[in-house]
């Protein structure tokens, strides 16, 4: 534990916070120009990528090079894929109903309210959730079995996200599917393959941080996957989406035969 560069890690926390804040402020400026705030969803993955890159640079001369490269690459592949997917999905659409509902409650200026309640909050969440990435960048030890186990779990998560998103996009592009519930492929095993994928990605990155040679650093970063798990299952992910889907024809039968989160074969 004494070999862990706590001073450098503490300084790096500040640089990471500035990186997350910069991404969200630039996104806010673009949103004002376009007149829609939904583009902040695409900035989520970009923010994590920026934090990983800044942490890797800040940790130069401190952490193991192989670990810095690995954790930065894993974060960037996940984050940039997600950003591109969300940007493509939202192209040509108006404001997201979630943000319309939120901004409809604004006590004053809608844009300043969005800055406080969406952009600054997301910057803080990016910084908090990325703690394993930051901690791993400063890990002094070489890559061990736990890091490769985390990488394998990350790969499972990325596959669930990418395949699930592709299957849903093909389903929505079929005119015959209009008004129907997507219950094919991975969507027959879990109602949320993309959220389950996120879950695996961040627990995988946490395992990479646990292998960094400092038990205390791993303990600090444990908050990250716990927060992400709450957001995906009980926060703004699964819970809110299913509340919006509850009235759609066929949803009750689909929910009865399909796992709510962790994949399993569909019930008969």
**Domain definitions of the chain by residue range:** 6-257
pLDDT digits (tens, 9 = 90+) for 4-30: 888 899 999 999 999 999 999 999 999
- pLDDT score of 213: 62
Two structure tokens written together for 43: 């900035």
- pLDDT score of 214: 55
Q: Can you say whether the dihedral through the CA atoms of 93, 96, 97, 99 is positive or negative? A: negative
Instruction: Spell out the residues 6+ positions from residue 208 whose beta carbon is closer than 8 angstroms to its own.
Output: 67, 70, 71, 74, 132, 136, 146, 147, 150, 151, 154
- pLDDT score of 163: 97
Closest CA to 35 of 85, 100, 83: 100
pLDDT digits (tens, 9 = 90+) for 39-74: 999 999 999 999 999 999 999 988 889 999 999 999
- pLDDT score of 1: 46
Angle separating helix axes 120-129 and 40-58, nearest 10 degrees:
50
The predicted model scores a pTM of 0.92
Long-range contact pairs involving 114-121 (C-beta distance under 8 Å, separation at least 24): 114/28, 114/31, 114/37, 115/28, 118/37, 118/40, 119/24, 119/25, 119/27, 119/28, 119/40, 120/21, 120/24
How confident is the prediction along the chain (268 residues), in pLDDT tens digits per residue? 457 888 899 999 999 999 999 999 999 999 999 988 999 999 999 999 999 999 999 999 888 899 999 999 999 999 999 999 999 988 878 787 788 888 888 888 888 999 999 999 999 999 999 999 999 998 888 888 999 999 999 999 999 999 999 999 999 999 888 888 999 999 999 999 999 999 999 999 999 988 866 565 677 788 899 999 999 998 778 888 888 888 888 899 999 999 999 999 998 7
Closest CA to 152 of 94, 106, 101, 211: 211
């Amino acid at each position: 534990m004494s070999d862990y560069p706590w001073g450098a890690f503490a300084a790096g926390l500040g640089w990471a916070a500035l990186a997350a804040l910069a991404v969200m402020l630039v996104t806010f400026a673009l949103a004002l120009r376009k007149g829609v705030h939904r583009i902040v969803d695409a900035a989520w993955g970009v923010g994590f990528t920026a934090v990983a890159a800044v942490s890797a640079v800040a940790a130069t001369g401190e952490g193991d090079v192989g670990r810095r490269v690995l954790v930065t690459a894993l974060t960037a592949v996940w984050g940039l894929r997600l950003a591109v997917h969300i940007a493509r999905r939202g192209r040509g659409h108006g404001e997201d109903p979630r943000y319309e509902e939120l901004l409809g409650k604004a006590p004053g200026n809608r844009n300043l309210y969005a800055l406080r309640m969406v952009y600054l909050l997301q910057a803080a969440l990016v910084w908090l959730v990325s703690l394993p990435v930051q901690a791993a960048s400063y890990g002094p030890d070489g890559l061990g079995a736990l890091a490769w186990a985390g990488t394998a779990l990350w790969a499972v998560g990325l596959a669930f996200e990418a395949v699930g998103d592709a299957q849903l996009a093909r389903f929505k592009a079929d005119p015959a599917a209009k008004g129907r519930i997507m219950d094919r492929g991975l969507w027959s095993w879990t109602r949320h393959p993309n959220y389950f994928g996120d879950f695996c990605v961040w627990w995988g990155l946490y395992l990479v941080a646990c292998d960094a040679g400092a038990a205390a650093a791993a303990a600090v970063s444990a908050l990250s996957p716990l927060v992400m798990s709450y957001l995906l299952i009980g926060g703004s992910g699964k819970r809110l989406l299913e509340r919006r889907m509850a009235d759609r024809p066929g949803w009750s039968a689909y929910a009865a035969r399909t796992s709510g989160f962790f994949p399993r074969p569909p019930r008969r």
